[in-house]
Structure 1
Amino acid sequence: MNTAGSLTYVYVVTYRTGLPGDSLVGLHGIGQAPLRFLSPTTDTTDAAPDAAPGTSLAALAFVASDVAEEDFNEAALKNHFEDLQWLEHVARTHHDVVQAVAARAPVLPLRMATVYQDDHRAGQALAAQRALFIQRLDQLRAHTEYGVKIYLRHDATEPPPAAPAPPTSPGKAYLQARRAQSHSREAVYRQAEQAAGAIEAIASRHATQRVRHAPQRGELTGPQENVLNDAYLIPDDRAGPFQAAIAEAAGNFPNLRIEVTGPWAPYSFAMPASGRADDPEPSP
């Protein structure tokens, strides 16, 4: 039940089955609001197509909380999306809820700021996509997302100190320095291509799916250049060998920084390419 002047904010789709009744106790959403389960707005409890044995529509749920309408209506969101401090706070809280629920049950993370006019509208949206949600939850069961990033080390793209050379003109010296820098960068990029191939070979043995994200830029990477930013869906019983294999491969590429992130809830795999976890669009 919504409080006056509030909207319903949803964080994830999950199953209530197997979760203790107090599983959301002590967890809070945006604005420290208590979390709650929302069931589909429907009278049927028949299993959806392709659901796992014993799975029913009644077991499906949103994890939701109230948010202030004045902060999350359409006009307010347009303004807030230009407020980096506000965005960081909401994104961090959203992520914390997703990760906390994912530690307890399979989840489909929803995009940040997915809001509905009230619980009834949210329940209708959940019921409308029940088959897709249940099918995807069952496919992701016992899987976790890990990220793999390749960075060029800042100092690796600079040419090594040159041996003393006979005096030459400033113009020629400049061209020689630029040529040496270019050769150094080419060598590091070739190493990055080899590392990407090694990572792909490892993933082929351990991962069930991959999503290739655009390399990160700006403040997220600092002085190092990010040239690969992939996400992998790893069965839980393969997570250890996958991370160990990546760490071993990283030792073969001293001019690169290869970083494994995770475990994460399956943000990159919540929906297949042909599906949208948050359609139809919420109605604020």
Structure 2
Amino acid sequence: MTNETGTYLYAVAADLGIPVPTGLTGVNGGAVRGIAQGGLIAYVSTVPMDKFGEGPLRTSLENLDWLGRTARAHHHVVDAVAETGPAAPVRLVTVYSGDEQVKDLLDRRGEEFLDVLTRVAGRREWGVKAYAEARKPVEEPAGARHGGESPGTAYLKRRQASLQGQEQDRRRAAAVAEEIHDALTAFAVAGRRHRTQDPQLSGRRETMLLNGAYLVDEERGEEFARVVDGLRGPGVELELTGPWVPYSFTMLEDPAGGEGTADERL
């Protein structure tokens, strides 16, 4: 068993001399602290490498209970940090060999972090999901005749017509979802489409057509919600969530090559 430890990174912010929130704990119950370097501060905690090293993480990331607990602890820290000012969260489970490696990150990518923090200052993220409304089956009137057709043939024809109708509905709904995304992106500072979620993950039977994130000025949040309401219509159901810390607009490409990363938000 090893006693080695690593440094878990949550987020980076401008160093404004604001102390780390008292009593803030992160993943694995570790106390959150700050590492200042080059006008920036990285919010981190110490983690045991026998749990957060590359090998153990491969196993842990397949455990949904562990992943859920870790994600909630991670986002709790990020939310607390964001209350004090603009913050750039990093990917879930980004672990470094030690504090010096984090300082090196701040030196190497300081300008990128500052650009991100400038972009999200005074702005929040809103999420909009669009679902295709379920097609109601058309019931054949009682006593309807099938002419010379057998009941089996008539059923297959009805089934084929129903599937064709569902495909047409899906295409129309997808086109509407694309229009919704374009309209919301035009209103927001920026918009981004994430991969749509499987029904098992979304918890809904309807097909997800849009999983969008939108960066909106804080003072325009209510206006954005009204824009979403104005886009509601038949065939597509909209779900609005937020406001959130702008995760979708702060992630740097390849944020630093930590021991392990997972791009999940639970």
- Relative to the length of structure 2, the TM-score reads 0.87
1:113 CA displacement: 1.1
Runs of 4+ aligned structure 1 residues displaced above 4 Å come to: none
Preserved CA contact (<8 Å) 2:173 2:209: no
From 234, 239, 245, the counterpart of 2:227: 245
From 136, 139, 144, the counterpart of 1:161: 139
- Judging changes above 3 Å, is the alpha-carbon distance between structure 1 residues 184 and 258 closer, same or farther for their aligned structure 2 residues? same
Secondary structure of the structure 2 residue equivalent to 1:157: coil
Question: What residue number does 1:102 align with?
Answer: 82
Question: What residue number does 1:48 align with?
Answer: none
- Judging changes above 3 Å, is the alpha-carbon distance between structure 1 residues 127 and 256 closer, same or farther for their aligned structure 2 residues? same
Secondary structure of the structure 1 residue equivalent to 2:228: helix
AA aligned opposite 2:53: N
List per-residue Cα deviations over 1:200-220 (Å, max 9, x = no partner). Answer: 22431x211111111111411
Confirm or deny that 1:276 pairs with 2:239.
Answer: no
Distance 2:8 2:56 in 1: 14
- Judging changes above 3 Å, is the alpha-carbon distance between structure 1 residues 248 and 121 closer, same or farther for their aligned structure 2 residues? same
- Structure 1, unpaired ranges of 5+: 41-56
Secondary structure of the structure 2 residue equivalent to 1:175: helix
- Judging changes above 3 Å, is the alpha-carbon distance between structure 1 residues 192 and 63 closer, same or farther for their aligned structure 2 residues? same
Question: What residue number does 2:161 align with?
Answer: 179
Preserved CA contact (<8 Å) 1:157 1:181: no
Distance 2:194 2:140 in 1: 38
Distance 1:64 1:133 in 2: 16
- Relative to the length of structure 1, the TM-score reads 0.82
Secondary structure of the structure 1 residue equivalent to 2:91: coil
AA aligned opposite 1:30: V
Confirm or deny that 1:201 pairs with 2:179.
Answer: no
Question: What residue number does 1:35 align with?
Answer: 32
From 45, 48, 52, the counterpart of 1:68: 48
Preserved CA contact (<8 Å) 1:7 1:115: yes
Distance 1:66 1:114 in 2: 12
Question: What residue number does 2:9 align with?
Answer: 10
Distance 1:100 1:277 in 2: 24
Distance 2:173 2:52 in 1: 47
AA aligned opposite 2:253: R
- Structure 2, unpaired ranges of 5+: 261-266
AA aligned opposite 2:30: A
Distance 1:234 1:268 in 2: 12
Secondary structure of the structure 2 residue equivalent to 1:115: strand
- Judging changes above 3 Å, is the alpha-carbon distance between structure 1 residues 283 and 32 closer, same or farther for their aligned structure 2 residues? closer
1:231 CA displacement: 1.1
Secondary structure of the structure 2 residue equivalent to 1:111: strand
List per-residue Cα deviations over 1:194-253 (Å, max 9, x = no partner). Answer: 24314422431x211111111111411331211111111111122110112102322x22
RMSD (Å) for aligned C-alpha atoms: 2.1
Preserved CA contact (<8 Å) 2:181 2:212: no
Preserved CA contact (<8 Å) 1:12 1:62: yes
Secondary structure of the structure 2 residue equivalent to 1:166: coil
Preserved CA contact (<8 Å) 1:8 1:117: yes
Confirm or deny that 1:216 pairs with 2:213.
Answer: no
- Judging changes above 3 Å, is the alpha-carbon distance between structure 1 residues 78 and 283 closer, same or farther for their aligned structure 2 residues? closer
AA aligned opposite 2:16: T
List per-residue Cα deviations over 1:104-143 (Å, max 9, x = no partner). Answer: 2101110011111111221111111111111211111111
Confirm or deny that 1:147 pairs with 2:127.
Answer: yes
Confirm or deny that 1:120 pairs with 2:100.
Answer: yes
1:177 CA displacement: 2.9
Preserved CA contact (<8 Å) 2:177 2:209: no
Preserved CA contact (<8 Å) 1:149 1:258: yes
Percent identity, please.
Answer: 29
Distance 2:104 2:181 in 1: 42
